[in-house]
């Protein structure tokens, strides 16, 4: 029986190392994508000040910050050996929904659903902080 437990512990350790390695590779790929998003903004900024260009710039900036939040999540996971706190994930979800709310461009149903989702996540965060002391 001890051999089975030792084998399971070794297998768990190997899986944890694979997870951390995959997170590191994903972090490297996301940093490359961040740089390409940054450089793709330069031609748009030189294009002019039409409404279409401004919305494209806004969309690219929102995508940039989406990738940036993924990077912060990966860094937090690597710092804590593959584990992420629930309140950190809730705050990332709230930030992502706020970015989606900014990019909604006046579509009422999308604005309403994003607002309700933000409210539910904030309520969940308050409940989590209150009951998990």
Residues 65-104 have pLDDT tens digits of 888 888 888 888 888 877 777 878 888 888 888 887 877 7
Dist. CA 46–CA 50, nearest whole Å: 11
Per-residue pLDDT tens for 12-62?
A: 889 888 888 888 898 899 889 888 888 888 888 887 777 777 778 888 888
Question: DSSP labels for 48-73?
Answer: ---HHHHHHHHHHHHHHHHHHHHHHH
Q: Which pTM was predicted?
A: 0.66
Q: 1 vs 35, which has greater pLDDT?
A: 35
Residues 6 or more apart whose Cβ sits within 8 Å of residue 50: none
* Banded model confidence at residue 110, pLDDT cuts 50, 70, 90: confident
């Amino acid at each position: 029986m001890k051999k089975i437990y030792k084998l399971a512990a070794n297998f768990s350790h190997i899986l944890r190392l694979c997870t951390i390695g995959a997170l590191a590779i994903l972090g490297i790929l996301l940093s490359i994508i961040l740089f390409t998003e940054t450089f793709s903004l330069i031609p748009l900024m030189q294009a002019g000040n039409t409404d279409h260009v401004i919305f494209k710039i806004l969309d690219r900036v929102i995508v940039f910050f989406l990738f940036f939040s993924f990077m912060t999540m990966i860094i937090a996971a690597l710092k804590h050996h593959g584990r992420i706190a629930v309140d950190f994930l809730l705050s990332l979800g709230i930030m992502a929904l706020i970015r989606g709310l900014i990019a909604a461009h006046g579509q009422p149903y999308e604005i309403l659903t994003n607002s309700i989702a933000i409210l539910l996540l904030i309520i969940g965060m308050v409940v989590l902080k209150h009951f998990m002391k």
